Copies of this chain bind each other. A is one copy, B any other.
Amino acid sequence: MIALMMVSTATAANDNKVYQFDKPLYGAAYYSEYTPTDRLDEDIRLMKQAGLSVVRVGESTWSLYEPQDGVFRFEWMDRILDKLHAAGIKVILGTPTYSIPSWMAAEHPEVLSQTVDGRQSHYGIRQNMDLQNPTYRRYCERIIRKMMEHFAHHPAIIGYQVDNEVEARSIDNQDYFEGFRDFIKTSFHNNLDSLNRRWGLNYWGMNINKWEDFYDRKGVTNPSYKLWWERWNRKVTADFLNWQVDIVNEYKRPDQFVTHCFMPAFCNIDQVEAFRQMEYPAINVYYTMQDAQDGMWIGYASDYMRPICKRHNFLVTETNAQGTGWSSRDQFPPYDGQLRQNMYAFLAGGANMVEYWHWATLHYGQETYWRGILGHDGQPNRVYAEFKKGAAELDKIGSELVNLKIHNRVAMLFSHDSKFGLDFMPYTSGDQYKEYFIYESLYKQNIECDILPVDKMQDFSAYDVLIVPPLYLATDALLQKISDFVKRGGEVVMFYKSGYCDQDDDVRAMLAPGPLSDACGFHYQEYSSINKLQLKPNDIGASDNTVSTWMEFLQLTTAKPLASVDHQFFGKWPCITENAYGKGHLIYIGTVPSRDILNKLIARAVNRKGISVGETYPIVLRSGVNGKGRNIHYIFNYSYAPKTVAYPFKDSKSLLDSQNLSQGSTVSIEPWGVVIGEEK
């Protein structure tokens, strides 16, 4: 277990030697070993014909590499790598640890996870292991070392992916629980009095007076315990990834990189720590196409990813080709143009690679209907043709699009801990943290932002405006930083419940919002659930003038009321306020606002910093600076109707058709289309 506790102290590898992108890579995951008949040559022929430049291989093939305990077979993959290399296709090779071979489950059933709700995992699905199990770890280490010894020098390989979409999911094996107990022992300096006090264990008489009495997660109701358990889950995942990176780094060439892919919909991962040693972190991004296609989820994922990997552009290792799903329900293959549009949306967000999942569609297994570029027939099709078109365009203009850097003045905070804290004590039946609801107001008003994982990243110096979803859990220090940000001239839009609890999920024993009271210009003692209520007339300017769900009874000191509800009782207190504090302002939303109110409040904040709202969705604008230092502008049309806009940027050249784009001139964008301008 020593190894697990070791934190790698290696500094970032010398970035200059690692693989450099001269244009975006465009490709797919490829599993030649899954096809019912051997069609490797035919697949490579079709890849070449389509202009595919990269594939990811081998992340779930442990049982083919090691068909029996200690018996290794890598030659079948050599053949694949050789042929890909001969065709000039670059390869990212996975470590296969997310799905164990059947012999391991049969011989060592203890590696299978037991879950928090008392269930025993069974073989037959991926990601069902106890990540801390020493036997599992020993086998992982051996297969990774064997793989790396065998493959590291293969010229096709530009990088390695360690594991796949890893996350500690409900594991509660005895050793996992004991690891948690040790983590708590360490974190609380072996001090049970401190633990009992900070977790409030006097309540219901559940103090722990010797470590042997420390109880496991299964029956726990205490929110502080739950919070720390989730922190443990995040730590296990990050440690597991860093442990794999350390092993891979012993073998890989300097020109090879390491990556890992995660699903950026809320994931219980400490991305900052998990990606610390990786040159090009990656994401897997899935969304609904057809009428629902809006690019928002691509935007969110990109804006989340960029701040985490500031040194490098990130990669996209998986995204929709045709319809997706673990059944044939909700199959929504792209309308004409949508596949290409999404590819550009990723590049507009800062990606350096777009890979589909996957090249071909499976004929068996759980993901039979998670359809690839090729369908079950293995022949070129409508999506293949659109891939080919996109590849040809990238071949022509990709060098202008790669290595895009984006410097946003607006940041939206994201707190894993706050999201959990709200989930433990929900105030509504649906989504608590509302990060997507809030992000949508930014995205659809074309207010570009970064998303900051604020439990770990708290430097706001690059920003003018902070958007703060319910910051339910925070240290005093973080609240002070936000207050200071306002005082120094920043603009903040902040949601209800911010500042309510400390870092242990204990409610602060003071007038809410505690340390934020000065910056907010009010305090409150009460709150209530509410139905949808109308606001009294106000100056916000929203057409849907309603709020709902939750309302705090704000007692103003220095803040000005912006709105209060039209109600005999609740109308006694304002529910939206604005406070001039130092050189900046803090808009506080003590209720769940309508979409329109939120739009207006966010616009009000950014306007003060000279950011105005022009074109809005279904027109989406995204801008950045390419690797050559030139300004690049994307204009997307997320609709089935042709659109025209007045070109809102400085005089540019249209990269796709070499036309001039003068500022203010009329630009047409076809349905599900994109125009890309490069400033002159």
Binding site for B on A (CB under 8 A): 31, 33-37, 60-64, 67-68, 96, 99-103, 105-106, 118-126, 128, 197, 199-210, 212-216, 218-225, 290, 322-323, 327-333, 335-336, 361-369, 375-379, 381-382, 425-429, 504-512, 525-529, 568-569, 640
> In the bound complex, do residue A329 and residue B429 qualify as a contact, i.e. CB atoms below 8 Å apart?
yes
Q: How many whole Å from A504's CB to the nearest CB in chain B?
A: 8
Most chain B Cβ neighbours within 10 Å, of A63, A369, A379, A382: A63
Copies assembled: 3
Q: How many whole Å from A639's CB to the nearest CB in chain B?
A: 11
> In the bound complex, do residue B213 and residue A103 qualify as a contact, i.e. CB atoms below 8 Å apart?
yes
> A120 — which chain B residues lie within 8 A by C-beta?
118
Top 8 closest A-B pairs, CB basis? A122-B219, A200-B364, A124-B219, A203-B365, A124-B220, A63-B205, A122-B218, A328-B427
CB contact between A507 and one of B221, B376, B508, B528 (< 8 Å): that residue: B376
> A504 — which chain B residues lie within 8 A by C-beta?
364
Closest to A220 in B: B124
CB contact between A206 and one of B63, B223, B376, B525 (< 8 Å): that residue: B63
> In the bound complex, do residue B329 and residue A529 qualify as a contact, i.e. CB atoms below 8 Å apart?
yes
Closest to A366 in B: B221
Closest to A65 in B: B205
> In the bound complex, do residue A33 and residue B202 qualify as a contact, i.e. CB atoms below 8 Å apart?
yes
Q: How many Å lie between the Cα of A207 and that of B102 in the bound state?
A: 7
Using known A-B contacts A328-B425, A376-B508, determine if residue A123 contacts B223 with beta carbons closer than 8 Å: no
> In the bound complex, do residue B379 and residue A525 qualify as a contact, i.e. CB atoms below 8 Å apart?
yes
Most chain B Cβ neighbours within 10 Å, of A106, A124, A223: A124
Q: How many whole Å from A80's CB to the nearest CB in chain B?
A: 13
Q: How many Å lie between the Cα of A427 and that of B325 in the bound state?
A: 10
Q: How many whole Å from A112's CB to the nearest CB in chain B?
A: 8
Q: How many whole Å from A361's CB to the nearest CB in chain B?
A: 8
Q: How many whole Å from A382's CB to the nearest CB in chain B?
A: 7
Closest to A423 in B: B327
> In the bound complex, do residue A204 and residue B425 qualify as a contact, i.e. CB atoms below 8 Å apart?
no
> In the bound complex, do residue B128 and residue A507 qualify as a contact, i.e. CB atoms below 8 Å apart?
no
> In the bound complex, do residue A209 and residue B365 qualify as a contact, i.e. CB atoms below 8 Å apart?
no
Q: How many Å lie between the Cα of A204 and that of B64 in the bound state?
A: 10
> A210 — which chain B residues lie within 8 A by C-beta?
68, 103
CB contact between A505 and one of B33, B37, B119, B364 (< 8 Å): that residue: B364
> A124 — which chain B residues lie within 8 A by C-beta?
206, 215, 218-222, 225
> A200 — which chain B residues lie within 8 A by C-beta?
34, 36, 362-365
Using known A-B contacts A122-B219, A223-B365, A364-B224, determine if residue A207 contacts B101 with beta carbons closer than 8 Å: yes
Closest to A426 in B: B327
> A225 — which chain B residues lie within 8 A by C-beta?
124
Q: How many Å lie between the Cα of A60 and that of B214 in the bound state?
A: 19
> A335 — which chain B residues lie within 8 A by C-beta?
569
Q: How many Å lie between the Cα of A328 and that of B472 in the bound state?
A: 12
Closest to A63 in B: B205
> In the bound complex, do residue B105 and residue A215 qualify as a contact, i.e. CB atoms below 8 Å apart?
yes
20 A-B residue pairs with CB within 8 Å: A31-B202, A36-B197, A68-B209, A96-B205, A102-B209, A105-B213, A106-B213, A122-B219, A203-B366, A203-B367, A204-B365, A327-B425, A329-B428, A331-B427, A331-B527, A336-B569, A376-B510, A376-B512, A377-B509, A569-B640
